[in-house]
């Protein structure tokens, strides 16, 4: 039973590739050295460090959940009203809760 595939030697297959831009390596050490000297590896040296990435994710979670609302309030209050004292943390959250739950609580 024939599969239609013909057997070719490695030399015939390699000679079919006539691209002079491909490097020719004699040993595995040459391949590793070429990879170490390549621009791709040098470009990958500027990878994302895990600590700043985790810090960014943590800040995003805090912002989405509203956990950093008081810090944002303090920063905004310092720029808009520099001559008045801001609310303390407890009073700020009580004010936020009152704003959230006062008024009409229905959709229609």
- Give the separation between CA 24 and CA 3, rounded to whole angstroms: 32
Query: Bigger pLDDT: 44 or 99?
Result: 99
Query: Bigger pLDDT: 62 or 20?
Result: 62
- Express each pLDDT in 27-62 by its tens digit: 555 655 666 566 555 555 556 677 888 889 999 999
Find the helix or strand (DSSP H, E) in which 58 lies.
helix 50-65
Task: For residues 1-5, give the mean pLDDT.
Answer: 52
Structure tokens given for 105: 């609580």
Structure tokens given for 74: 């303090």
For the chain, the straight-line distance linking the first and the last C-alpha, in angstroms and rounded, comes to 76
| Greatest distance between any 2 Cα atoms in the chain | 93
Query: What pLDDT was estimated at residue 101?
Result: 86
Could you tell me the pLDDT band of residue 6, with boundaries at 50, 70 and 90?
A: low
Is the Cβ–Cβ distance between 34 and 23 less than 8 Å?
A: yes
pTM value > 0.95: no
Q: Nearest-CA neighbor of 35 among 21, 25, 47, 48?
A: 25
Query: Bigger pLDDT: 19 or 102?
Result: 102
Query: What pLDDT was estimated at residue 77?
Result: 94
**Residue 81 pLDDT > 60, yes or no?**
yes
Helix-then-strand count for the chain, H and E:
6, 0
């Amino acid at each position: 039973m024939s599969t239609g595939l013909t057997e070719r030697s490695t030399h015939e297959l390699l000679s079919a590739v006539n691209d002079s831009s491909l490097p020719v390596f004699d040993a595995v050490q040459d391949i590793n050295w070429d990879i170490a000297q390549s621009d791709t590896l040098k470009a990958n040296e500027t990878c994302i460090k895990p600590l700043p990435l985790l810090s960014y994710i943590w800040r995003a979670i805090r912002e989405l959940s509203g956990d950093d609302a008081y810090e944002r309030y303090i920063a905004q209050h310092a720029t808009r009203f520099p001559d008045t004292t801001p609310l303390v943390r407890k009073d700020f959250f009580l004010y936020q809760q009152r704003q959230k739950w006062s008024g009409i609580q229905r959709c229609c």
